[in-house]
Homo-oligomer: A and B are copies of this chain.
Amino acid sequence: MLRLGHRPGRDKRVTTHVALVARAFGAKGIYIEGEDENILKSIEKVKNEWGGNYFTLSFIKNPKKLVEEWKNNGGKVIHLTMYGININSIAGTIPDLDNILVIVGAEKVESWYYHAADYNIAISNQPHSEVAALAIFLDRIYKGEQLNIVFGDSKFLIVPQKAGKKVIKK
């Protein structure tokens, strides 16, 4: 995952949600353009309680360099954007890709990324949310199986309830 253009005040919670979805839905880590200790704290707290310690969070200054290196190492770059090809038109061709860097932007993404990406994919051609776009994209990749993820290093385990909450301390 690469999160572009994070603005600490304005985007703090949305970027945190992007990172939490990435972790919960099976991504290996996230790169965030910018720096924001609050996000790091939130994610470390969730990892500590709910597991997934392998999930990495790195703040970077030069996302274009990351994209170029990713491609040079044989990885594929997928940019999620409402202007791209609707995922419903290309489902089935995506899930086989290994070593994917998924890019989501904040307000406006530079034209460079549209051309550097191997795929520009629209999770609907409507404006909505990069959090939702990432969730649906990972859902298609993992075919819904990501919703069953439980992390082995979790301190807590939820016992799903029809009403109320039940949490076991491991």
Contacts and interface: CB of A to CB of B under 8 A. Distances in A.
Interface string A109-132: 001001101011011111111011
B83 A127 contact: no
A160 B125 contact: yes
A89 B160 contact: yes
A105 B18 CA distance: 17
Nearest to A11: B13
A85 interface: yes
Interface stretch (A56-64, A67-75, A95-103, A134-142): A134-142
Interface size on A, as a range, is 35 or more
Contacts of A82: 158
A148 interface: yes
A46 B82 CA distance: 13
Interface string A5-48: 00000110110011011011100000000000000000000100
B128 A150 contact: no
Interface of A: 10-11, 13-14, 17-18, 20-21, 23-25, 46, 50, 82-89, 91, 111, 114-115, 117, 119-120, 122-129, 131-132, 134-136, 139, 144, 146-151, 158, 160-167
- Enumerate the 7 nearest inter-chain pairs by beta-carbon distance, A residue then B residue, closest first: A132-B135, A17-B129, A24-B126, A131-B131, A24-B128, A83-B165, A125-B158
20 contacts: A10-B13, A13-B13, A17-B128, A17-B131, A20-B128, A21-B132, A24-B126, A25-B128, A83-B158, A84-B160, A85-B162, A87-B147, A111-B164, A114-B163, A115-B163, A124-B148, A131-B131, A132-B134, A135-B135, A139-B139
